[in-house]
Amino acid sequence: MSLRQAPIGVFDSGIGGLSVLQALQAALPLEHFVYLDDSLHAPYGERGDAFVVQRSRAITTYLRQTHGIKALVIACNTATMAAVARLRAEHPDLPIVGVEPGLKPAAAASQTHRVGVIGTRGTVTSAKFEALHRSLHDQATFAVQPCDGLADAISRSVASGDDSKTIALCAHYISAMGRFGINPGEIDTLVLGCTHYVFAQDHLAKLVGPQVQILSTGEPVARRTQHLLEQAATLNTTGPGRVELVTTGDPATLQAAARRWLGFATGDAVQWVERGQCAPPDHLSPAP
Ligand code: DGL
């Protein structure tokens, strides 16, 4: 098989990265994607860097060895902040794209120069986030809010069908950030600094009001991935485009999330991975 036909690996702590996968599929419909949902080890955002780095290294090794990926998309802000530099150093031959909160586009777009940022505690307390924040301090004021429990609530709502905890947490964190609106002194731009939060965007939009713009990073990540594949001459130009979903957790939850948010159905070109075949944690041993 030529490298053009090889899959692109995409991973997240859970189902949040499906929001990035959606953008990748729209931009690169002929590509083959392998999506790894590490929900057995989620949430990453409250686990600390060492744990997230260890998981990210193990997953990258698994995706290379088992699926022969030609590129990797880290569809998780927390894992990007903690591990992207290490992964790039350990895999210099593998194009790697990370996601980070879109502070720069938000600062450029904001008319009131007040931007809200929501993310996991791991993301918003990371050195990489701090450096990004500092580099933009003269362009906008950022209200930064760690949202403990929100990614987990979004994941659980898939299985239960009950969004009430997600809605309550969104309301709590949004009200803690200050006034939203387009008048001077109000926050007119909200950055979703966690890929899970895209799936709570409707609830967030109701809370901040219709005039506030909400920014996420799926599309820029897809464009960057396309660019790196073009540079490496490994774009798949013949297809067929397809997706394999792999989980370390519960396959039914991942299937339900893909059905609910990506409109997938059993019978689509998706290989559902049974629990026994999912990359179990002991197969995901860290790279030496
Ligand atoms: N989806 C992830 C992110 O973008 C993390 C969620 C979590 O596991 O805490 O940061």
Summarised one tens digit per residue, pLDDT across range 94-152 is: 999 999 999 999 999 999 999 999 999 999 999 999 999 999 999 999 999 999 999 99
Q: Could you list the active site residues?
A: 76, 194
Q: Which CATH number fits domain 3-99+218-278: 1.20.120.1810, 3.40.50.1860, 3.40.50.920, 3.40.50.1000?
A: 3.40.50.1860
DSSP string over 191-258: EEESGGGGGGHHHHHHHH-TTSEEE-SHHHHHHHHHHHHHHTT---SS---EEEEEESS-HHHHHHHH
13 lines ligand 1 (CB under 6 A): yes
Using one digit for the tens of pLDDT, what is the confidence trace for 68-89?
999 999 999 999 999 999 999 9
Q: Please enumerate in sequence order all residues whose Cβ is within 8 A of that of 174, keeping only pairs 6 or more positions apart, or say none.
A: 116, 180, 204, 207, 208
How far, in Å, from the CA of 12 to the mean position of ligand 1? 7
Q: Which residue has the tokens 């791991």?
A: 122
Among the atoms of ligand 1, which is closest to the Cα of residue 13?
Answer: 8
196 lines ligand 1 (CB under 6 A): yes
98 lines ligand 1 (CB under 6 A): no
User: What's the fold here for domain 103-215?
Assistant: Rossmann fold (3.40.50)
pLDDT along the chain (288 residues), means of 10: 92 95 95 92 92 93 92 98 97 98 97 98 96 96 98 90 96 98 98 96 97 96 98 94 87 83 60 44 41
Q: State the pTM of this model.
A: 0.91
How far, in Å, from the CA of 43 to the mean position of ligand 1? 6
At residue 221, the pLDDT reads 97
33 lines ligand 1 (CB under 6 A): no
Q: Please enumerate in sequence order all residues whose Cβ is within 8 A of that of 181, keeping only pairs 6 or more positions apart, or say none.
A: 187, 188, 209, 211, 212
How far, in Å, from the CA of 13 to the mean position of ligand 1? 6
- What residue spans in the chain does CATH classification 3.40.50.1860 cover? 3-99+218-278, 103-215
